[in-house]
């Protein structure tokens, strides 16, 4: 059984099993499917507005549909091996979004501790270890 996040000492780039990541930030939402350290599909949605209560209903629908479309595009041999969707960014604190995603995708939806800082933590790690950037590649679409 897979573990998320990877065990200490191993960065996400070495994660052999496929995984899905959704970053819900202020103004833009990005979803990626990663396999063997390479992004093999991605989607993004520009949001017009967010509120202190979270995503507006139309934006919530758009995020769920965009993510579901990404999952539908996964190859048949990959889909069963994806353990969960991991949500980062400030939007990962919106329980309504997490519930909608779990219901629509029919898979577990996880968040990281302090999800609003997950992206900057990853970029900081790459800044301290530039060789990590060479292990990231864009394949597929």
Provide the pLDDT for residue 14. Answer: 45
Furthest C-alpha separation in the chain: 41
pTM of the model: 0.77
Distance of alpha carbon 43 from alpha carbon 72, whole angstroms: 12
**How do beta strands 28-35 and 38-46 pair?**
antiparallel
Structure tokens at 91: 């939007």
Q: Return the residue matching tokens 């539908």.
A: 72
User: Contact, 39 vs 137, CB < 8 A?
Assistant: yes
pLDDT averaged over consecutive 10-residue blocks of the chain (141 residues)? 42 63 88 84 84 74 95 90 91 92 96 85 77 58 42
Provide the pLDDT for residue 51. Answer: 64
Q: DSSP assignment, residue 3?
A: -
Q: At what angle do helices 57-73 and 95-105 cross, to 10 degrees?
A: 30
Distance of alpha carbon 141 from alpha carbon 126, whole angstroms: 24
Classify each residue of 67-106 as buried b or exposed e, where b means 16 or more C-beta atoms within 10 Å of its C-beta: bbebbeebeeeeeeebbebbbbbebbebeebbebbeebbe
């Amino acid at each position: 059984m897979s573990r998320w996040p990877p065990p200490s000492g191993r960065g996400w780039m070495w994660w052999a099993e496929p995984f899905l990541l959704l970053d819900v930030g202020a103004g833009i939402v990005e979803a990626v499917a990663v396999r063997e350290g390479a992004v093999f599909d991605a989607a993004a949605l520009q949001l017009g507005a967010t509120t202190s209560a979270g995503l507006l209903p139309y934006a919530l629908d758009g995020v769920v549909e965009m993510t579901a479309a990404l999952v539908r595009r996964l190859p048949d041999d990959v889909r069963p091996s994806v353990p969960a969707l991991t949500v980062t960014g400030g939007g990962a604190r919106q329980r309504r979004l997490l519930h909608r995603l779990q219901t629509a995708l029919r898979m577990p939806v996880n968040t990281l501790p302090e999800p609003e800082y997950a992206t900057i933590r990853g970029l900081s790690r790459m800044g301290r270890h530039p060789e990590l950037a060479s292990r990231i590649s864009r394949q597929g679409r």
